[in-house]
A and B are shown apart, each in its own frame.
Chain A
Amino acid sequence: MSSDNPMVRFDNVQKSYDGKTLVVKNLDVDIAKGEFLTMLGPSGSGKTTSLLMLAGFEPATHGEIYLNGKPINNVPPNKRGIGMVFQNYALFPHMTVAENLAFPLKVRKMSPTDVQQKVDRALAMVELPSFGQRRPAQLSGGQQQRVAVARALVFEPELILMDEPLGALDKQLREQMQYEIKHIHENLGVTVVYVTHDQSEALTMSDRIAVFEDGVIQQLSSPSTLYEKPNNSFVAQFIGENNRLNGNITAIDGTVCTVELDSGDKVTADKVVDGGIGTRTTLSIRPERVDLDPEAGSVPVTISGKIEELIYLGDHIRVRMSVAGTDEFIVKVRNSASGQSLETGQLTTVGWNPEDCRALDEIAA
Chain B
Amino acid sequence: MSETAAQVADTLAVKPIDQAVDQPITAADGTPLKVALARATRKAKWRAFVLVLPLLLFVLITFAIPIVEMLTRSFYNDAFSANMPNLVAYFEDNEIESVPDEAGFAALAADLKQARENKTIGVVATRVNYEVPGSRSQFTSAARKTKKLEPPFKEAIIALDEDWNDVRLWNVMQRASNPISASFYLAATDRRYDENGDKVWVDKKRRIYIKLFVNTLLLSLGIALICLVLAFPVAHLLATLPLRYSNLLMIFVLLPFWTSLLVRTTAWIALLQSQGVFNDMLVGTGIIGDESRMQLMYNMQGTVIAMTHILLPFMILPLYSVMKTIPPTYVRAARSLGATSWTAFWKVYFPQTVPGIGAGVLLVFILAVGYYITPALVGGSTGQLISNLIAFHMLKSLNWSMAAALGAILLFIILVLYWLYDKLIGIDNMKLG
From known contacts A137-B6, A169-B3, infer whether A83 and B343 are also in contact, taking CB-CB under 8 Å.
no
Tell me whether A337 is interfacial, beta carbon within 8 Å. Answer: no
The 8 Å CB contact of B330, one of A77, A90, A138, A151, is A90
- CB proximity to A under 8 Å, residues B316-355: 327, 329-330, 332-341, 343-344, 347-348, 351-352
User: Cβ of A141 and Cβ of B6 under 8 Å apart?
Assistant: yes
- CB proximity to B under 8 Å, residues A61-86: 76-78, 80-84, 86
B12: chain A residues within 8 A (beta carbon): none
User: Cβ of B2 and Cβ of A76 under 8 Å apart?
Assistant: no
User: Cβ of B3 and Cβ of A88 under 8 Å apart?
Assistant: no
User: Cβ of B329 and Cβ of A86 under 8 Å apart?
Assistant: yes
> Which residue in chain A gives the minimum CB-CB distance to B335?
A77
User: Cβ of A88 and Cβ of B332 under 8 Å apart?
Assistant: no
From known contacts A90-B327, A94-B352, A107-B338, infer whether A84 and B333 are also in contact, taking CB-CB under 8 Å.
yes
The 8 Å CB contact of A104, one of B5, B332, B337, is B337
Nearest Cβ on chain A to B130's Cβ, whole angstroms:
54
* Cα–Cα, bound, A330→B39 (Å): 59
User: Cβ of B3 and Cβ of A140 under 8 Å apart?
Assistant: yes
- 0 or 1 for each of A140-161: is its CB under 8 Å from B? (1 = yes): 1110100000011001000001
Tell me whether A39 is interfacial, beta carbon within 8 Å. Answer: no
Tell me whether A108 is interfacial, beta carbon within 8 Å. Answer: yes
User: Cβ of B3 and Cβ of A93 under 8 Å apart?
Assistant: no
User: Cβ of B351 and Cβ of A55 under 8 Å apart?
Assistant: no
Nearest Cβ on chain A to B5's Cβ, whole angstroms:
6
From known contacts A107-B343, A137-B6, infer whether A57 and B352 are also in contact, taking CB-CB under 8 Å.
no
From known contacts A86-B329, A88-B329, A92-B330, infer whether A138 and B338 are also in contact, taking CB-CB under 8 Å.
no
Nearest Cβ on chain A to B185's Cβ, whole angstroms:
43
User: Cβ of B1 and Cβ of A168 under 8 Å apart?
Assistant: yes
* Cα–Cα, bound, A92→B327 (Å): 11
Tell me whether A234 is interfacial, beta carbon within 8 Å. Answer: no
- CB proximity to A under 8 Å, residues B284-327: 327
User: Cβ of A103 and Cβ of B335 under 8 Å apart?
Assistant: no
From known contacts A103-B337, A107-B339, A155-B338, infer whether A86 and B332 are also in contact, taking CB-CB under 8 Å.
yes
B327: chain A residues within 8 A (beta carbon): 88, 90
Q: Tell which of B3, B7, B334, B352 has the most Cβ of chain A within 10 Å.
A: B3
A139: chain B residues within 8 A (beta carbon): 2, 6
**A interface size (C-beta, 8 A):** 36
- CB proximity to B under 8 Å, residues A100-141: 103-104, 107-108, 136-141
The 8 Å CB contact of B2, one of A55, A144, A152, is A144
> Which residue in chain A gives the minimum CB-CB distance to B332?
A57
User: Cβ of B336 and Cβ of A84 under 8 Å apart?
Assistant: yes
B344: chain A residues within 8 A (beta carbon): 78
B7: chain A residues within 8 A (beta carbon): 140
B336: chain A residues within 8 A (beta carbon): 55-56, 77-78, 80, 82-84, 152, 161
User: Cβ of A57 and Cβ of B2 under 8 Å apart?
Assistant: no
Nearest Cβ on chain A to B426's Cβ, whole angstroms:
13
Tell me whether B48 is interfacial, beta carbon within 8 Å. Answer: no
B334: chain A residues within 8 A (beta carbon): 92, 103
Nearest Cβ on chain A to B354's Cβ, whole angstroms:
8
The 8 Å CB contact of B337, one of A56, A137, A155, is A155
* Cα–Cα, bound, A104→B6 (Å): 26
> Which residue in chain A gives the minimum CB-CB distance to B9?
A138
User: Cβ of A108 and Cβ of B338 under 8 Å apart?
Assistant: yes
B351: chain A residues within 8 A (beta carbon): 94
* Cα–Cα, bound, A318→B252 (Å): 61
* Cα–Cα, bound, A104→B343 (Å): 11
User: Cβ of B337 and Cβ of A57 under 8 Å apart?
Assistant: no
User: Cβ of B332 and Cβ of A77 under 8 Å apart?
Assistant: yes
User: Cβ of A78 and Cβ of B338 under 8 Å apart?
Assistant: yes
* Cα–Cα, bound, A57→B343 (Å): 16
User: Cβ of A88 and Cβ of B335 under 8 Å apart?
Assistant: no
A80: chain B residues within 8 A (beta carbon): 336
Q: Tell which of B10, B330, B336, B341 has the most Cβ of chain A within 10 Å.
A: B336
From known contacts A93-B352, A103-B337, infer whether A138 and B6 are also in contact, taking CB-CB under 8 Å.
yes
User: Cβ of A88 and Cβ of B1 under 8 Å apart?
Assistant: yes
Nearest Cβ on chain A to B11's Cβ, whole angstroms:
12
Nearest Cβ on chain A to B310's Cβ, whole angstroms:
32
> Which residue in chain B gives the minimum CB-CB distance to A80?
B336
- 0 or 1 for each of B1-43: is its CB under 8 Å from A? (1 = yes): 1110111011000000000000000000000000000000000
User: Cβ of B2 and Cβ of A136 under 8 Å apart?
Assistant: yes
B352: chain A residues within 8 A (beta carbon): 92-94
B343: chain A residues within 8 A (beta carbon): 107
B332: chain A residues within 8 A (beta carbon): 55, 57, 77, 84, 86, 90
> Which residue in chain A gives the minimum CB-CB distance to B343?
A107
Nearest Cβ on chain B to A193's Cβ, whole angstroms:
13
Q: Tell which of B1, B5, B338, B347 has the most Cβ of chain A within 10 Å.
A: B338
* Cα–Cα, bound, A77→B329 (Å): 13
> Which residue in chain A gives the minimum CB-CB distance to B2?
A137
The 8 Å CB contact of B348, one of A82, A92, A141, A152, is A92
> Which residue in chain B gives the minimum CB-CB distance to A145?
B3
Q: Tell which of B3, B5, B327, B337 has the most Cβ of chain A within 10 Å.
A: B337
- CB proximity to A under 8 Å, residues B151-197: none
> Which residue in chain A gives the minimum CB-CB distance to B6?
A140
B5: chain A residues within 8 A (beta carbon): 137
Nearest Cβ on chain B to A149's Cβ, whole angstroms:
13
- 0 or 1 for each of A243-282: is its CB under 8 Å from B? (1 = yes): 0000000000000000000000000000000000000000
* Cα–Cα, bound, A94→B352 (Å): 7
* Cα–Cα, bound, A103→B329 (Å): 15
> Which residue in chain A gives the minimum CB-CB distance to B339?
A107
User: Cβ of A90 and Cβ of B333 under 8 Å apart?
Assistant: yes
* Cα–Cα, bound, A103→B340 (Å): 12
* Cα–Cα, bound, A161→B9 (Å): 31
B339: chain A residues within 8 A (beta carbon): 78, 103-104, 107
9 A-B residue pairs with Cβ-Cβ distance under 8 Å, sorted by A, are: A80-B336, A86-B332, A88-B1, A90-B330, A136-B2, A139-B6, A152-B336, A152-B337, A168-B1
14 more A-B residue pairs beyond the given contacts A77-B335, A107-B339, A169-B3, with a C-beta to C-beta distance below 8 A = A57-B332, A76-B341, A78-B335, A78-B344, A81-B338, A83-B337, A90-B327, A90-B330, A94-B352, A107-B343, A137-B6, A138-B9, A139-B2, A152-B337
The 8 closest A-B CB pairs, nearest first, are A141-B3, A104-B337, A90-B333, A84-B336, A90-B329, A77-B335, A94-B351, A140-B6
